[in-house]
Amino acid sequence: MKPTPRPDPFSLAFEEAHKAAARGEVPVGAVIMREGIILARAGNQVLADKDPTAHAEMLAIRQACAVLGSERLIGCDLYVTLEPCAMCAAAIAHARLRRLYFSASDPKGGGVEHGARIFAQPTCHHVTEIYGGLRESEAAALLRAFFLERR
C-alpha cells in the first residue's frame, strides 16, 4: 500500500492566490497546517468582503482558531505566498504560530523583513520562526502579472 502523500501547503496557498486573482483581488493565498493536517486555507478577499482586514493570513488564522476552538495556534505553521504586512505579522504573533513560511518578499508593504519588522520589536511577545523566499519567483510572477493587467 502506498502511503497517503503529505499535502503540499504551498501548492494549496498558490491555488488560493490564483482564485483571489480570478476574483480581482490582490493574489495572495495562505494555508495553516499542524502535524501534516491542513486546518485552514484562504485567499485575500478584501474587496469581496468589503473588509480591509480580510487578508489571506487573517482569514486563515480565524478559520484555524475556529477549527481548534482556541485563540492560540500552538504548534501550527502558516504558509503564505507573500511576505505578510504588519497587521498580519502581528496577528501571527498574537496567534502564537510556530513557523511562518512565505514566498515573495514585499519591500513596499511587508512587515516582517521590511518596515515595522514586527518580530524584531521588543513589543512582540512571541517569536515565530521565519522562512522566506520559498517558491519566490512563482509568487513574484503571479503578482507581476496581476498588477500589469490592472494598469
Catalytic positions: 57
Residue 4 or residue 123: which is nearer to its own copies going by CB?
123
- CA–CA dist 22, 42 (Å, integer): 14
Q: Is 90 in the site for its own copies (CB under 8 A)?
A: yes
Q: Is 118 in the site for its own copies (CB under 8 A)?
A: yes
C-alpha cell at 12: 494549496
# binding residues, its own copies (CB under 8 A): 42
Among 53, 74, 144, 145, binds its own copies (CB under 8 A): 53
b or e along 9-48 (b: 16 or more beta carbons within 10 Å of the residue's beta carbon)? bbebbbebbebbbeeebbbbbbbbbbeeebbbbbbbbbee
Among 12, 38, 86, 134, binds its own copies (CB under 8 A): 86
Q: Which of 126, 20, 120 minimizes the C-alpha distance to 80?
A: 20
- CA–CA dist 130, 89 (Å, integer): 11
Residue ranges that bind its own copies, judged by CB under 8 A: 46-47, 49-54, 58, 61-62, 65-66, 69-73, 85-91, 94-96, 108-111, 114-118, 121-125
Q: Which residues contribute to the annotated binding site for Zn(2+)?
A: 55, 85, 88
